[in-house]
Amino acid sequence: MNIVIIGAGYVGLVTGACLADVGNRVTCVDHDPAKLDALQRGQVPFYEPDLDAVIVRNVAAERLSFAASLEPAMRHADIAFIAVGTPATEDGSADLSHVLAASAELGRAVERDTVIVVKSTVPVGTCERVQRTIDAELRMRGVPWRATVASNPEFLKEGSAVDDFQRPDRIIVGTDDPQAQRLLAALYAPYNRNRDRLIVTDVRSAEFTKYASNVMLATRISLMNELARLAEKVGVDIEAVRHGTGADPRIGHHFLYAGVGYGGSCLPKDVRALARLAAEHDQSTPLLDSVQAINDAQKRLLSAKIREHLHGRLEGATVALWGLAFKPNTDDIREAPSLVLIDELLRAGATIRAYDPVAAERVRQAVPDARLQLCRNARAACEGADVLAVVTEWREFKSPDFRWLAQTLAQRAVFDGRNLYDPQYVEDCGLRYYGIGRGR
């Protein structure tokens, strides 16, 4: 098929590259010329495992190309995806200006019957606005083409996006139009060999499902974090509780990890946006409000523990920090728990020696403070430090040399924000261990 993707951001690029990889001809359209130049040379503007290889081989095979305008790709397009950002506005609601601008542009560029697919995360009712916007343009042009708008929310996880796209656990398509249904079923057939992945619903339910999924995930994390706080107080190890509760198939083991709070570009934004949508409909959201409040508090937990260990004397202390990205395998630092920890430590007068395999440069730009020293590797970050805080569970942090750490860290303590380590083993090596909910 001929596919046009508007927005060469995270979702657009992964979608475009993967669809090209199964034989489609894909044009990714973006207004940023520097980005387009870099992509044409195979340079991806963010870190995502495997994505650059998929882009390079599909550009070489002339299945994937990049363009600054919708013309002429729309002349042949069977499907056009809207995959532009929907950042949060001041009040937490989703900013739809990019989506609506893309819709108007599409209305001006459609040259045949085309299915328009909204992949951006958008509040209920947006696809209908997109449809109205495009229809108005088509009417103004006096052309006979039909543009059918469908919702197809994206469930990619950063760090495993290519794999998630190629092996989806579900593909949600929201449309009442049988032709659009058939076209999208055909598009996704390579990822739906057993015909058990595609879920077709009405447009509004598809839009809502995206928020419901992310909000459910966020709620699960905040609940585990709340239980972890209590576990600590009553001498219980939340890790044992995680194993036990996760064994119930109704609960399951995934996404049950207590930690330093959820971050990233989606969960925090989507919880806020859904709460905002509810407010617009005069509905209160006590659960969502608590999910957010717990998460905000959780991001501050590690600095409180460090302060306590140092008897309140953070001024002049040096903290080694492992992990800056909001999760492993990405350089994304949006709403990352590390940023809250850094802010609190710097404000309290501490120095930070930080290391992250890929996200350091982004943090350097976000926090231009000389007391935040970026180190070349994990060991270097610990040299001259009083204590170590682990905030992102990169693989290389999973099995450190604790005896070396005990000799190196002046105040001999490890703050394990992801519950990676066995507390007893760490203490046997001569360090104080602090985790999240590791009461014993």
Residues serving a catalytic function are 266
* Per-position x/- string for 286-325, each x denoting binding to ligand UGA as judged by CB under 6 A, each - no binding: ----------------------------------------
- Strand residues in 76-226 grouped as ranges (E): 79-82, 114-118, 147-151, 171-174, 198-201
Q: To the nearest whole angstrom, how small is the minimum distance from the Cβ of residue 230 to ligand UGA?
A: 17
Applying CB under 6 A, the span of 14-22, 153-161, 286-294, 402-410 interacting with ligand UGA comes to 153-161
Is 221 a binder of ligand UGA (CB under 6 A)?
Answer: yes
Q: Is 262 a residue that touches ligand UGA (CB under 6 A)? A: yes
**Distance of alpha carbon 363 from alpha carbon 375, whole angstroms:** 12
257 makes contact with ligand UGA (CB under 6 A): yes
Query: Contacting ligand UGA (CB under 6 A), which of 158, 232, 237, 344?
Result: 158
From 256, 342, 359, 374, residue interacting with ligand UGA (rule: CB under 6 A): 256
CA 203, CA 351: separation in Å to the nearest integer? 51
State in angstroms the smallest separation of the CB of 233 from ligand UGA.
20
Residue 154 is a binding residue for ligand UGA (CB under 6 A): yes
What's the rounded Cα separation, in Å, for the pair 260 and 436? 8
Q: Are 241 and 231 in contact (CB under 8 A)?
A: yes
User: Smallest gap, in angstroms, from Cβ of residue 305 to ligand UGA?
Assistant: 17
Among 8, 59, 116, 267, binds ligand UGA (CB under 6 A): 267
Q: Which among 31-39, 67-75, 261-269, 351-359 is the span making contact with ligand UGA, rule CB under 6 A?
A: 261-269
What span, in angstroms and rounded, lies between the C-alpha atoms of 182 and 179? 5
123 contacts ligand UGA (rule: CB under 6 A) = no
Q: Which is nearer to ligand UGA, 160 or 192 (CB)?
A: 160
Give helix 97-109 / helix 126-141 axis angle, nearest 10°: 30
Piece of 15-23, 34-42, 192-200, 262-270 that binds ligand UGA (CB under 6 A): 262-270
The residue among 203 and 258 lying less far from ligand UGA, judged by its C-beta, is 258
Binding positions for ligand UGA, 367-396, rule CB under 6 A: none
Contacts of 311 by beta carbon, 8 Å cutoff, 6+ apart: none
Q: In sequence order, what are the residues at sequence separation of 6 or more whose Cβ sits closer than 8 angstroms to the Cβ of residue 336?
A: 263, 264, 324, 325, 326, 359, 391, 392
Calculate the alpha carbon distances from 24 to 18, 20, 36, 178 in Å.
Answer: 9, 5, 20, 22
Angle at 377 between CA 372 and CA 381, to 5 degrees: 45
Determine the residue type at 16.
G
Within 33-92, the residues that bind ligand UGA by CB under 6 A are none
Q: How far is CA 383 from CA 140, 311, 395, 406, in A?
A: 67, 22, 21, 11
Q: What's the closest the beta carbon of residue 92 comes to ligand UGA, in angstroms?
A: 16
